[in-house]
Amino acid sequence: MKQTPGQGRWIKGLSAIVASVLLSQTMSSVAQTKEEKVTYSQFLNYIKNDQIKTAVIYDKQGRAEFKLKNQPDKAPFSEVLLFEKDTSLYKKLREKNINFEQNHDSGENLFLEILPQLFLILMILVFFVMFLRRAASSSSGPGQILNFGKSKARFQMESETGVTFADVAGIEEAKEELQEVVTFLKQPERFTAVGARIPRGVLLIGPPGTGKTLLAKAISGEAGVPFFSISGSEFVEMFVGVGASRVRDLFKKAKDNAPCLVFIDEIDAVGRQRGTGIGGGNDEREQTLNQLLTEMDGFEGNTGIIVIAATNRPDILDTALLRPGRFDRQVTVDLPAFKGRLGILEVHSRDKKLAPKVSLEAIARRTPGFSGASLANLLNEAAILTARRHKDAITTLEIDDAIDRITIGLSMAPHLDSKKKWLIAYHEIGHALLETLLKDADPLNKVTILPRSGGIGGFSQPIYNEERVDSGLYTRAWMLDQITILLGGRAAELEVFGEAEVTIGASSDLKNVASLAREMVTRLGMSDLGYVALETEEKSNVFLGGDWGSRAEYSEDMAVQIDRKIREIVTHCYSKAQVLLRENRRLLDKLVEVLLEKETLEGDEFRQIVVHYGQSVEKKPILPEPLPLLP
């Protein structure tokens, strides 16, 4: 911290005080060394034998100084410590007619006595003044101390984000919709000429990592207007009224620099629903939200100010915040499709050295459901692995390992050759073989028995259908095959090792089976109970502004039927898995032998073994009759 001239004078003054204290203590210690100290009993003997010539008693200090009759006048006084409130001492001195003086003062300089206490108080005051000056200089300028109510928004007179729409890929629909906001700011006359009104606010909604903040920076970079950016959590402090004061100060600065952009990241931190009935309705967050609502569309207009907010929890935002006139537009920034992922990979691979055989298209096809942040992290992890392995460029191997590390976990040391390794191999081959044989299942990408962090002993990984993932449309046949595949690990263990040797390795599979089967029956109408949604998704937590909880929307008799239908689906799929594995037992054993040898099998290699040693993938074995949808 830079030292001011005033602070320099304070330090010099304090140095002088410290020096004087040390000097006084030194002189006092020197003086004390010249005085001869005697014991109290010896002092009483001197009085009894009438040997004392003169004495001075200091009451407050509890000591006395005296000279003996046989000592010369220039001899130093002797010193003795007295007992507290010893009244008999004065009586003994008077009886012996000893000349003594009673001194009620301390006998020392009073200033020197209180100097240490004054020095401590002075130091505290100096540090407090320095803290106040530093707080003032770090807020809105010199001379203003503890500006709690001032806005903490980062302000740029001209956009210096360094990000434009060219740097944002994978969200073309959102970019196109926000392009109008840029045009509003650059050429407002084009819209005002036909009576169009500039939108007050734009709410960016999407999962984490999809690029909402990056998109706001790009709008600022394209528009080139003054830009304010702040997080929702920075409005609320421990002091009541500070958040509302910061909102007022933020919009006051924005009005002075209109037209401009105000970006509020994570607005759900301050914009949650009001009046939940818990904790009262006059808390600091609600006051801040009320002020924000007033500033966006209250009695006074904010012409030329466009507020851009980002959140991944639109369900908990207050309805007054979402009405027209405040956030006029709600732009969904969703997970990118194949072309979007390819564009994002092209952007983030500009500064990465890729091997010629690395195909960004192949990476994009293997990563459905990845967000922009996940894809950036994928390439970064691949680059880290490349540097660790002392390679010159990122290869396909590093890409594959990076995908596995992000989706499944860090690779651990291989299993030792034991019964556990055989159990895991049969379990994972049970999944993988059913993924290959079932018609409506996603194709196998790889199967491995290399353990991963988090307690995963091995895994079987499919290549998810991009169109199905992006659209969210899953067929009944696909869902039944998914349940069959999930039960394949347990079915393989039971077929090979018997009931007594069945392990808990299928616990997570069974949880997914129960969840998927229950959704088919209660929410998706995929059973003979009819096309009725008997359950809804879990409602919002009351603390987030939602209802008090969910309730059963069916009778007890219907609950029994639901349980029966779920059991029918699971039993049917398990029987199907058992038949497939039993019919292909020779193939199952061969695949386990190869997997134990190589520890990892890619999808193409796995399918070649299936075709060579077993039946064709297209050939259908004898299976149980499919479940009827309706009677």
Task: Decide if domain 338-407 falls under CATH 3.40.190.170.
Answer: no
Reported as a single tens digit per residue, the pLDDT across 390-400 is 999 999 989 98
Backbone angles phi, psi at 160, to 5 degrees: -125, 25
pLDDT at residue 592, rounded to an integer: 92
Lowest mean pLDDT segment, chosen from 21-30, 77-86, 171-180: 21-30
Q: Write down the CATH number for the domain with range 154-332.
A: 3.40.50.300
d(CA 112, CA 428): 85
Is residue 599 among the annotated active site residues? no
Angle at 552 between CA 546 and CA 558, to 5 degrees: 155
- Name the residue among 124, 103, 15 with its Cα closest to residue 59: 103
Strands 260-265 and 227-231: parallel
pLDDT at residue 617, rounded to an integer: 46
> With bands split at pLDDT 50, 70 and 90, how would you rate the model's confidence at 627?
low
State the CATH architecture for 5-110: 2-Layer Sandwich (3.30)
pLDDT higher than 70, residue 159: no
The pLDDT of 174-180, averaged and rounded, is 79
> With bands split at pLDDT 50, 70 and 90, how would you rate the model's confidence at 277?
very low
Reported as a single tens digit per residue, the pLDDT across 283-313 is 667 778 888 888 887 656 556 788 888 888 8
Residue found by looking up tokens 């060394």 in the block: 33
pLDDT at residue 30, rounded to an integer: 42
pLDDT at residue 573, rounded to an integer: 95
Length of the chain in terms of residues written: 631
d(CA 532, CA 181): 43
**Sequence letter at residue 373:** A
Q: Which of 222, 428, 435, 493 is catalytic?
A: 428
pLDDT at residue 26, rounded to an integer: 47
Q: Higher pLDDT residue, 94 or 488?
A: 488
Q: Higher pLDDT residue, 438 or 328?
A: 438
pLDDT higher than 60, residue 483: yes
Q: Higher pLDDT residue, 216 or 354?
A: 354
- Superfamily of the domain at 419-613: Peptidase M41 (1.20.58.760)
pLDDT at residue 369, rounded to an integer: 82
Q: Are 305 and 264 in contact (CB under 8 A)?
A: no
Reported as a single tens digit per residue, the pLDDT across 226-244 is 778 887 777 766 555 667 7
Q: Higher pLDDT residue, 49 or 441?
A: 441
Domains 154-332 and 338-407 share a fold: no
Cα distances (Å, whole numbers) of residue 346 to 100, 101, 283, 369, 454: 101, 99, 47, 17, 32
pTM above 0.75, yes or no: no
Q: Higher pLDDT residue, 553 or 4?
A: 553
pLDDT at residue 621, rounded to an integer: 46
What CA dihedral angle connects 286, 292, 298 and 303, to 10 degrees? 180
pLDDT at residue 239, rounded to an integer: 52
- Name the residue among 255, 210, 230 with its Cα closest to residue 152: 230
Give the helix/strand (H/E) hosting 78.
strand 78-81
Cα distances (Å, whole numbers) of residue 178 to 182, 195, 260, 313: 7, 20, 15, 20
Express as a percent the part of the chain with pLDDT over 70.
77
Cα distances (Å, whole numbers) of residue 75 to 305, 319, 616: 91, 95, 122
pLDDT at residue 8, rounded to an integer: 52
d(CA 32, CA 345): 83
pLDDT higher than 60, residue 107: no
d(CA 415, CA 451): 7
Per domain, the residue ranges of the chain are 5-110, 154-332, 338-407, 419-613
Strands 78-81 and 63-68: antiparallel
Residue found by looking up tokens 């040693």 in the block: 613
